[in-house]
Chain A
Amino acid sequence: MDKILEVKGVYFSYNGEDVLEGISFELYRDEILGIIGPNGSGKSTLLKIITGILKPKAGEVRIYTNRIGYIPQKATSFERNFPATVEEIVSLGRLKTPIYRRLNKEDYRIIDSALERVGMLVYKKKRIGELSGGQQQRVFIARAIAGNPELLVLDEPTTGIDINAQTQFYNLLGELNRDMGITIIIVSHDVSTVASEVKRLAYLDKRLHFIGKPQEFYKKVLWPLEIEELLGKE
């Protein structure tokens, strides 16, 4: 299989405290990888290192594409009054070098088709802050796919979104993976939802404790932990 990402012995620390210790794994094209772990386990930091927003203290990240779509955890926490339309937000996905390039007809066609793909075309002229959290996440997906990404990186995308919208959201990710061949990394603290949607699951808590099939995660990590907890209580 064709590798898209290699993470080798990555360390990172905030204010002298290690948040990531010796993270190593590989990601192959067409995969959907779910990363789970408790709060403060370094999940968001790892994504920021993968996308090049942060530099690791030690180790290296090799990424075999420059077409990365990233949707940060706080994507929907912008000021509600921010004056920008849905179309303008998606058009940012078309920002390529040279940065002073103006948008042409082809760009607008791609923007429309990205909005169509996520079912948000009718909201194109709306102010982004008028939409619900779930709709905004779709717009950010459209922004990412307008840049024709090979790798899509999402940080807790379903936080604060109702169950129905969450299901739709995961269906959409599945489609993008299947139809467009986009490799996806998704971070979540919600084990059950993510585990049912991804092909591989990683459990992170400073160190990478597990990476493999979701079923194995239940057998090897989750159930033993739960049994331990049950026994401990008695």
Chain B
Amino acid sequence: MDVFQYTFMQYAFISGIIIGLLCPLIGVFLVLRNLSLVADGIAHLSFGGLALGIILGLNPSITLLISSIVGGLGIDYISRKTKLYGDTATAIFLSAGMALGIVIISFFKGMNININSYLFGSILALTKAELILTIVVGGLSILIIYLIYRALFYITFDEDSAKASGLPVERINILFILVSAITIAISIRISGILLVSALTVIPVATAIEVSNSFKMTTIISLIVGVLSVLMGLLFSYYFNVASGGVIILLNVFIFMLSLLFKRFPWLFNYKVHNNKS
């Protein structure tokens, strides 16, 4: 196909596969721990960091990464140490980051930067340095989650029992927040700040609908994640629309199919299991 002739499309596809895997991989644990909003919080916060980095003349990818990590750890710390209800801490951080970004950008109107590509995602925007950053940092993150996968599963299902069994729960939690923040930061270029959390949440929601086991949920959400990103990039290229939006619309579409599949399996010519085994 002619799309692969272009270096920028090759870059987009390679990093697309990585974030298509990574986002649902952290998403499984975020969703099942009722922390779906945290990814959104981190992403919006990083907008402030991004704007700050731009006016200070720093590399936007690096400021994105740093502000995401600081934001992730901050949200985690504030929600644990204060008595704020539910995800209030996340909501406050989310607005604060966005507000900071908007104020900075409106103040320095003449900035030579395309903010839209960060907000909505753009396949054209990826540089070689960013690609390498994505491969190294993303690859490392996938490896970390792979190694602590079962421990995270235990903590997600029953944190107290995991603690009693002697698992270093606090350290694993911090590591997970770090990896989540990194994932959000490197995914923003493709899916955009406004939609990055959807890529962590929707493939998982789809997988939960159709699978019985934790393993299947993980596998299906990874497949949905990668497929939606790759198809979204192709759409985005041929119809010249923002990649983030297309990827998320595809995800929503697949999610709706999964709802149909669960309620009307015969529509898909699928035999219903007899539950009385």
A70: B residues at CB distance < 8 A: 160-161, 164-165
A180 adjacent to chain B (CB < 8 Å)? no
Asked, given contacts A72-B160, A75-B158, A95-B154, whether A83 binds B213 with beta carbons under 8 Å apart, the answer is yes
- Size bin of chain B's contact surface: 20 to 34
Interface residues, chain B, with chain A CB atoms under 8 Å away: 32, 146-148, 150-151, 153-154, 157-158, 160-167, 172, 207-208, 211-217, 275, 277
Q: Are B163 and A53 in touch, CB under 8 angstroms?
A: yes
Contact B214 A84 (CB under 8 A): yes
**CB–CB B147/A88 < 8 A:** no
Residues of B within 8 A of A68 (CB): 164-166
Decide: B160 and A92 in contact? CB cutoff 8 A. no
Is B213 within 8 A of A95, CB to CB? Answer: no
**Contact code string A110-153 (vs B, CB < 8 Å = 1, else 0):** 00000000000010011100100000000000010001000001
Convert A88-123 into 0s and 1s, putting 1 for each residue whose CB lies closer than 8 angstroms to a CB of B: 110111010101100000000000000000000010
A72 to B160 Cα, complex, angstroms: 7
Judged by a CB distance under 8 angstroms, whether A85 is at the interface is yes
Sort A-B residue pairs by CB-CB distance and give the 3 closest, nearest first.
A70-B164, A51-B164, A100-B147
CB distance from B7 to the nearest CB of A (A): 37
How many A-B pairs fall under 8 Å by CB?
Answer: 88
A-B contact pairs, 5 of them (CB 8 A): A51-B164, A52-B164, A83-B212, A91-B150, A126-B212
Q: What is the chain B residue whose CB lies nearest that of A122?
A: B277
Across the interface, A83 reaches (CB within 8 A) one of B161, B164, B167, B207, namely B207
A residues bordering B, Cβ < 8 Å? 48, 51-53, 66, 68-72, 75, 78-79, 81-85, 88-89, 91-93, 95, 97, 99-100, 122, 125-127, 130, 143, 147, 153
Q: How far is the CA of A52 from the CA of B166 in the complex (A)?
A: 8
- CB distance A52 to B207 under 8 Å? no
Contact of B165 among A89, A95, A126 (CB under 8 A): A95
Q: How far is the CA of A4 from the CA of B275 in the complex (A)?
A: 44
Q: A92-B153, A95-B151 are in contact. Are A71 and B161 (CB under 8 A)?
A: yes
Q: Apart from A78-B157, A83-B32, what 16 extra A-B contacts exist at CB < 8 Å?
A: A52-B163, A53-B164, A68-B166, A69-B164, A72-B161, A82-B32, A83-B207, A83-B214, A84-B157, A85-B212, A92-B161, A99-B147, A99-B151, A125-B213, A130-B275, A143-B161
Give Cα A33 to B18, complex, Å.
52
Q: Contacts A51-B164, A95-B165, A95-B167 given: A84-B158 contact, CB under 8 Å? A: no
> Which residue of A85, A143, A147 is within 8 Å of B213 (Cβ)?
A85
Knowing A83-B212, A83-B213, A99-B148, the reply to whether A48 touches B167 (Cβ < 8 A) is no
Residues of A within 8 A of B214 (CB): 83-85, 88
Judge whether A78 and B216 touch: CB under 8 Å.
no
